[in-house]
Amino acid sequence: MLHNKIADSDDWSSLRISHKHDAEVVETILDLIPDDQVSSFISQADKLGMTSLHWSAYTDSTTVLAPALDRMSLVEQQETVQATDNRGWTMMHTAAYKDANLVMKTLQNKFGSEKEVKWKVLTCRTADGKTPLHIAVAERNIKAVITLLDFADDDCGSLLAETDNSGKTGLEYAAQGTLLEHCLRLAGGIKQISLLHSAVKNDDVKTVELVLENIGDSESIRDICLREDRNGFSVLQTAAVQNSVRVMETLTRQMTEDDCLQCLTTIGSNGETASHMACKL
């Protein structure tokens, strides 16, 4: 633990300083730490109570986050991600406040299939009961809002129903009459489907465009369009069944010809392609 105890006057260790600059340095430092000590090493806090992962979220840097999580068990990952600073904020709150899309996408990829852990990460609360979604909406960080709802997937309606200590939902933090409010209202009525599926089902081009503009660089439009709901319908299949021509055009014009062809001809878990469904209408 010597490496993390050699700190400057603000209790910044070499790991917290290096994560901003050099991934190789971070890897080298982590390689020197025994596997059973990585979690406690990463969880060392500075005078603000912030760990290396809090600072990763603050700067939207995955240099420390990705390799650190890879060296921990699922239980250790959950405990580390939910560690709070002096304000009672987890790294997810910090990411929501800073609109740190890369960090949130990394956590989504790590915990997306772990339903129980994912829900705990998404519903962690500050001292006044705010979830990361409350903070993202309050800060008008649309990219963070879209990522959090996407992370929640078919539980996004439940996430939006979560209230803070004053009884307010995330929707109540949004300015009235804005596209963000409209997006959240749509998410609030969702049962077992994603926000994008719901927008497509309602032929809601504006919300579809909003989601596509804010999905981040780490996920392609093709992957978004191939994602299935619980009934096995992909986004394009949903558009085909609803005969949502404007939505279909919005989705396909942002893809390459090869990606578009793949989305239209991929056989889903329901045994159908989007092209077959469109022809049945």
- Pair of tokens at residue 108: 């989504």
Average the pLDDT over 159-174 and give the result. 90
152's tokens: 């929640």
Q: Is this model's pTM higher than 0.85 or not?
A: no
Task: Confirm if 84 and 133 have CB atoms less than 8 A apart.
Answer: no
Q: What does 210-245 look like in DSSP terms, one character per residue?
A: HHHHTS-TTS-HHHHHH-B-TTS-BHHHHHHHTT-H
Which residues, 6 or more positions from 212, have their beta carbon under 8 angstroms from its beta carbon?
221, 224, 250, 251, 254
Per-residue pLDDT tens over the stretch 55-104: 889 989 888 788 888 888 888 888 889 999 999 999 999 999 999 988 99
Structure confidence at residue 7 (pLDDT): 46
Q: Give me the pLDDT at residue 12, please.
A: 47
The fraction of the chain above a pLDDT of 70, given in percent, is: 85
Of 25-29, 158-162, 183-187, 228-232, the least confident:
25-29
- Looking at residue 6, what is its pLDDT? 41
How far from each other are the two terminal CA atoms of the chain, in whole angstroms?
65
Tell me if residue 146 falls in helix, strand or coil: helix
Q: Rg for the chain (alpha carbons), in Å?
A: 20
Please give the Cα distance from 193 to 136 (Å, whole number): 22
